[in-house]
Structure 1
Amino acid sequence: MAFIALGINHKTASVDVRERVAFTPEQLVEALQQLCRITPSREAAILSTCNRSELYLEQDHPSADEVLAWLAGYHNLSLEELRACAYVHQDDDAVRHMMRVASGLDSMVLGEPQILGQMKSAYAVAREAGTVGPLLGRLFQATFSTAKTVRTDTAIGENPVSVAFAAVSLARQIFSDLHRSQALLIGAGETITLVARHLHEQGVKRIVVANRTLERASLLAEEFGAHAVLLADMPQELVNSDIVISSTASQLPILGKGAVERALKQRRHKPIFMVDIAVPRDIEPEVGELDDVYLYTVDDLHEVVAENLKSRQGAAQAAEELVGAGVEDFMQRLRELAAVDVLRAYRQQAERLRDEEVAKAQRMLQNGTSADEVLAQLARGLTNKLLHAPSVQLKKLSADGRFDALAVAQELFALDEGSDKSSQ
């Protein structure tokens, strides 16, 4: 048995690579089932966000190379290109990595809360796909429990800091007075909801939410007093938008250079601040080449994020200690679980031997043998059968010079060495 966590994230891979390795929600179930079918992975889950794509696996024997080859093939990357930015964690380190990710300790924004929900979604999808079993399931539950403890017992989640918050903070640096600005938000997911909340709190003059479905956009718009439109209406809204922040699950850019150029002409080249939080990207990179456009991707938010994180740094050490305790507790329980299987098998064997001796005793009673003699024979026969296999194995270990195993046996059977010598 081996736990493996492997993948890429914002620390090891550029946004260009991350968007090529990202899984769409529609791909996940089929990808999970294929992963377990083609690789030696008995259990599997996939976490895919704008900042990371990670695979969590349980295997009989660790074989990360086969999984990396599958991942590269699935996304049409060369194995060498993937190896250059991938990381692999095994057993205790894999458990620690999952717990650190769920607790927000491995995020671009230290302590950001969305990642725990994303990991819970990854677990739910893996259960739906039938690729999570008892071992990986226990690891996920332990991970969620540790992350909850980190949130409850440390200050790592205080002072709202997220990619969404960082984007709005950057907008505040560029526009001194957001009360006069209009914002166009593309998408209606969790990140855009956070952006809308922050912009609303900053008193932005007008917020427009554009989405593929008007119903979803309207629900979000209603919450913050915004205006809902379809993606097809973006060109008209773009003309009046000073701030554009996008985060959808589209596999292709939905805002191109041409549309932005036309909007700038109508705006008489009044600047537009844009943040593309999506992976794959929603806004064509060429848009950044236009004069009067300030285009940022998630990778560009590092400096803003770092400035906002100072208040959380002190809590990080305490959080790391809680994660360490969570890893130790889980691995101990896992080792105990392995002992349970051995004990179960040993008990079944002992019960079988007992039943055989009881049946023999019952036949002796039926044949008229005295009860005292039957009891003595039952005790003697059961003792001999229970000791036979351990005796044979101990003699073999001794003959092979396995004195370490003999010492373990002494401890296992709780034998007092002094009393044993006095009985000789």
Structure 2
Amino acid sequence: MTTQERETTQVPALTACCWEAVALDREGVAAVERLAVETHPEAAIIRTCQRIEAYTLASCDCPAPTHREGMDALRHLTEVAAGLHSAVLGEAQILGQSRRAFDDADGALLGLGRTAVAAARALRAETEFDSHAGHLLDRGLTLSGIEPGGRLLVLGTGVMARLVAERGEAIGFDEVLVAGRRPPRQPIAGAYLPLGGIGRTGPVTVVAGCLGSAANVIALEALPPAELVLDLGTPRNFAGEAEARVVTIADLLSDEAGRPHSVARRGALRERLHALLDRELASRRETASTPVGALRASVERARRRELARIAERHPEIAPETLDALTRSVVNRILHEPTERLRALGEGSELARELAALFGEGE
């Protein structure tokens, strides 16, 4: 049996219907969301600032621009959950968004969602992603040929706005202004001013739009004079005509797609992620009736017991962080031994004895 044939038998008829949202305005995003829900009533739907995707076990002829099936769909889901298709490589928030999309799923669809998220979590546990949303400011400046300096006006007081403001201070802007509909709940880099007062701030070097999806669109003509308008909103924060150069998330993604180093980095991570997905699939196929399955089941029970003890002693650590760290350690320790056990075969006396040994202490 070929690799492709094995994959087909291992993965149910998963279908992914995918829309890109980065170039859509607010009305366009709302229309796609309605279409996704109406045409996929029993699907798991991932909604992020950059994409809307519906995952189902039924074939589909909806008008989505891209359809993926079988192993291709599962690999794509895993890549999305790991943040490999995000403007910020390895974006942390999308893992939780992908997991929550399958909260109401059940059966095989739920199992595939959990498999994809587990593989994505494993990649994040072993990979150091050195970028965050604040670095989109660097990329916008590079694309525009503008040096950091002068005044930076950030619209918004959420997580992205906070990171962009902090990054602006770090790379050398002389003054950082942060405008919002209400004052930030936590300290934020720069000086705060009401959003309605941005027209009176005077000229700035860069305006960075980091307003949430529910915010009203701002006319470019209402902004203060600027060299660059960096629209990091999805849907877009700004509309209209401006003398300044306007750079959007879509522009940043397009620019990165033409950079060999970035393409190579994402490609290498994609290959590693696919290997982790294959490992996760193999692990989930093994039952307690096989030596490897019994070994893993025994170790997993021990991991969960220790996880409960650690969580009780250290309530300040997020449960998801503890789960990811302990799971990663166990997988790394067990990887080579379980691969050797698989090579020995289910009938191996050594494999049976080792599995029994791990189960004796329970």
Query: What TM-score do the two structures reach when normalised by structure 1?
Result: 0.55
Cα contact 1:252–1:280 (8 A) shared by 2: no
Supply the AA of the counterpart residue of 2:247.
Answer: Y
**Which residue is 1:22 aligned to?**
29
> Distance in 2 between the 1:315 and 1:296 partners?
23
> Distance in 1 between the 2:166 and 2:73 partners?
35
Establish whether residue 249 from structure 1 lines up as the match of residue 212 from structure 2. yes
> Distance in 2 between the 1:63 and 1:306 partners?
31
1:235–1:40 distance in 2 versus 1, CA, 3 Å: closer
**Which residue is 1:150 aligned to?**
123
Match of 1:213 among 171, 182, 185: 182
Supply the AA of the counterpart residue of 1:189.
Answer: G
1:196–1:306 distance in 2 versus 1, CA, 3 Å: farther
**Which residue is 1:120 aligned to?**
96
Match of 1:287 among 232, 241, 244: 241
Supply the AA of the counterpart residue of 2:147.
Answer: S
How many residues were matched structurally? 277
Identity of aligned residues (%): 19
**Which residue is 1:387 aligned to?**
none
Cα contact 1:92–1:327 (8 A) shared by 2: no
Establish whether residue 227 from structure 1 lines up as the match of residue 191 from structure 2. yes
> Distance in 1 between the 2:27 and 2:260 partners?
29
- Alignment gaps of 5+ in structure 1: 69-81, 265-270, 340-424
Q: 2:238 aligns to what SS in structure 1?
A: coil
Supply the AA of the counterpart residue of 2:278.
Answer: E
Establish whether residue 138 from structure 1 lines up as the match of residue 107 from structure 2. no
- Alignment gaps of 5+ in structure 2: 1-11, 290-362
> Distance in 2 between the 1:95 and 1:329 partners?
14
> Distance in 1 between the 2:267 and 2:219 partners?
44
Cα contact 2:209–2:231 (8 A) shared by 1: yes
Superposed, 1:163-182 pairs within 5 Å as 164-171=134-141, 174-178=145-149, 181-182=150-151
Cα contact 2:45–2:55 (8 A) shared by 1: yes
Report the alpha carbon displacement of residue 297 of structure 1 after superposing the two structures with TM: 1.5
Report the alpha carbon displacement of residue 275 of structure 1 after superposing the two structures with TM: 0.8
Structure whose CA Rg is larger: 1
1:108–1:223 distance in 2 versus 1, CA, 3 Å: closer
Report the alpha carbon displacement of residue 150 of structure 1 after superposing the two structures with TM: 2.2
> Distance in 2 between the 1:2 and 1:183 partners?
50
Query: What TM-score do the two structures reach when normalised by structure 2?
Result: 0.63
> Distance in 2 between the 1:40 and 1:175 partners?
45
Residues 197-254 of structure 1 show CA distances to partners (whole Å, capped at 9, x for unaligned) of 22121132221222222244xx2xx242x122232222223x2432100022345753
Q: Kindly report the root-mean-square deviation, in angstroms, between the aligned alpha carbons of the 2 structures.
A: 3.6
| Greater helix share, structure number | 1
1:273–1:148 distance in 2 versus 1, CA, 3 Å: same
Establish whether residue 319 from structure 1 lines up as the match of residue 269 from structure 2. yes
Cα contact 1:169–1:304 (8 A) shared by 2: no
**Which residue is 1:202 aligned to?**
171
Q: 1:22 aligns to what SS in structure 2?
A: helix
1:258–1:322 distance in 2 versus 1, CA, 3 Å: closer
Cα contact 1:22–1:280 (8 A) shared by 2: yes
Q: 1:64 aligns to what SS in structure 2?
A: coil
Supply the AA of the counterpart residue of 1:296.
Answer: V
Supply the AA of the counterpart residue of 2:105.
Answer: V
Establish whether residue 297 from structure 1 lines up as the match of residue 248 from structure 2. yes
